[in-house]
């Protein structure tokens, strides 16, 4: 079987590809692993899973199986040879606008009818995959705050539901921090709304940078943010809060505008609803607000 090196060179993901010497006779498991790794970098796992699962299930109907092909997805253009079928996947453009293709390297000649079946299956599942991608994009838009890129209130509610059910099953608490900016209104009043927007985006970047991967920041609304944290004790929660406070208070940009932050935190208690946990953290926050701001209190 011949491999076109142009295909390898034309991708941005060459490190994910099996070396040429390994590329013959890939097992379905290896192929799936490889596809999943590639797709996970493109944030299109669902698309790939849907497409290949369904295609895989139906290929035997046509007397074919994935072991007949060395199939892979790449972005960009590739040269098509007699040993290659290139099927662009509609609606799968990457963020840079390139489209995903499924390439089938054919180890043995296909009959015309086999090719025809492959094209039809691709067409059918490609369309479904396209819908899946649109759905994911819409879901992303519905749960993201457009200004900061953080999860919005809907995402917060969803995440709290997951965390609470996990905490109940595992009997492991988690934590919630509520953060409200101090003196934010004066930025809008003195420098305009767009400067205020810049401050909100700046704070969001600080949260993303300072939190661990397993912790999640959200914009709750206005100048209020929430963080769901993998902290299981008051001490861990207080450490995380201090890290955030230090990060915000050492920003020269925010200091120049006179903006700091107040924080309230609550640890999950068995039987807590999202509201009861939020209310505890929020009352701690308002105690801080009423006693001079720019500090942290636990509930
Ligand atoms: N620029 C901008 N401002 C917003 C946005 N959403 C809410 N605001 C403004 O944020 C301000 C929030 O008010 P407060 O929290 O009372 O203001 P503050 O000065 O931080 O008050 P303290 O919390 O007591 O320090 C209001 O002026 C809102 O108009 C937004 O998306 N962009």
Residues 71 and 182 in one domain: no
Q: Is residue 14 part of a domain?
A: yes
**How far, in Å, is the centroid of ligand 1 from the Cα of 187?**
9
* Residue 87 and residue 123 in one domain: yes
Helix axes 193-210, 234-249, angle to 10 degrees: 140
Query: What is the dihedral angle through the alpha carbons of 228, 232, 233, 235, rounded to the nearest 10 degrees?
Result: -60
Let me know: does 124 contact 55? Beta carbons within 8 Å: no
Q: Can you read off the two tokens belonging to residue 162?
A: 């997951």
Q: Cα(100) to centroid of ligand 1, in Å? A: 43
Q: Once rounded to an integer, what is the mean pLDDT over residues 6-34? A: 36
Residue with more model confidence, 82 or 295: 295
The pLDDT of residue 44 is: 45
Backbone angles phi, psi at 174, to 5 degrees: -135, 180
Pairing of strands 69-75, 260-267: unpaired
Q: Is the ipTM of this complex over 0.85?
A: yes
For 283-292, what is each residue's pLDDT tens digit?
Answer: 999 999 999 9
Q: Is the pLDDT of residue 59 over 50?
A: yes
Distances (CA, A) of 35 to 46, 71, 124, 125: 11, 9, 20, 16
Domain with 27 in it: 5-143
Confidence of residue 70 (pLDDT cuts 50, 70, 90): very low
Number of domains in the chain: 2
Q: Return mean pLDDT, the chain.
A: 74
Dihedral sign for Cα atoms in the order 31, 32, 36, 42: positive
Ligand 1: does its nearest atom lie under 6 Å from the Cβ of 195?
A: no
Residue range 212-263, pLDDT digits in tens: 988 999 999 999 999 999 999 999 999 999 999 999 999 999 999 999 999 9
Residues 136 and 180 in one domain: no
Q: Alpha-carbon distance 28 to 220, whole Å?
A: 44
Q: Are 106 and 69 in contact (CB under 8 A)?
A: yes
Last residue of a domain, one of 143, 169, 197: 143
Read off the tokens for 250.
Answer: 């050492």
Atom of ligand 1 nearest to the CA of 182: 25
pLDDT of residue 58: 60
- 148, part of any domain: no
Regarding whether 117 and 197 lie in a shared domain, the answer is no
Q: Give the tens place of pLDDT for each residue, 98-111.
A: 555 565 555 555 56
289 shares its domain with 159: yes
| pLDDT score, position 41 | 40
Ligand 1 nearest atom to the CA of residue 199, by list position: 1
Task: State whether the beta carbon of 183 lies less than 6 angstroms from ligand 1.
Answer: yes
CATH number at residue 192: 3.30.70.270
| 95, 167: one domain | no
Note the helical H segments in the chain.
5-9, 28-42, 45-58, 112-143, 153-170, 185-191, 193-210, 234-249, 252-257, 274-290
Q: Is the CB of 258 under 6 A from ligand 1?
A: no
pTM of the model: 0.62
Q: Is the CB of 197 under 6 A from ligand 1?
A: yes
- Angle, CA 293 vertex, CA 292 and CA 297 arms, to 5°: 105
């Amino acid at each position: 079987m011949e491999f076109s090196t142009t295909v390898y060179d034309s991708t941005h993901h060459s490190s994910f590809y099996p070396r040429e010497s390994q590329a013959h006779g890939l097992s379905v498991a290896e192929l799936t692993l490889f596809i999943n790794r590639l797709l996970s970098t493109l944030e299109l796992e669902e698309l790939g899973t849907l497409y290949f699962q369904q295609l895989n299930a139906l290929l035997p109907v046509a007397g074919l199986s994935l072991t007949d092909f060395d199939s892979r997805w790449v972005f960009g253009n590739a040269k098509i040879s007699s040993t290659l079928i290139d099927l662009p996947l509609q609606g799968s453009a990457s963020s840079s606008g390139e489209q995903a293709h499924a390439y089938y390297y054919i180890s043995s000649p296909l009959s015309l009818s086999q090719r025809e079946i492959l094209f039809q299956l691709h067409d059918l599942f490609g369309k479904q995959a396209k819908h899946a991608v649109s759905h994911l994009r819409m879901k992303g838009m519905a749960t993201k705050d457009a200004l900061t890129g953080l999860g919005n209130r809907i995402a917060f509610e969803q995440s709290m539901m997951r965390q609470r059910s996990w905490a109940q099953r595992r009997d492991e608490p988690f934590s919630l921090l509520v953060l409200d900016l101090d003196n934010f209104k004066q930025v809008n009043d003195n420098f305009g709304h767009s400067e205020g927007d810049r401050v909100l985006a700046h704070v969001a970047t600080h949260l993303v940078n300072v939190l661990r991967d397993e912790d999640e920041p959200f914009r709750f609304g206005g100048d209020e943010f929430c963080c769901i944290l993998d902290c299981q004790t008051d001490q861990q929660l207080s450490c995380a809060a201090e890290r955030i406070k230090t990060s915000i208070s050492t920003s020269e940009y925010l200091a120049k505008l006179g903006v700091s932050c107040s924080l309230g935190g609550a640890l999950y208690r068995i039987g807590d609803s999202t509201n009861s946990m939020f209310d505890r953290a929020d009352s701690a926050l308002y105690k801080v607000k009423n006693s001079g701001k720019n500090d942290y209190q636990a509930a």
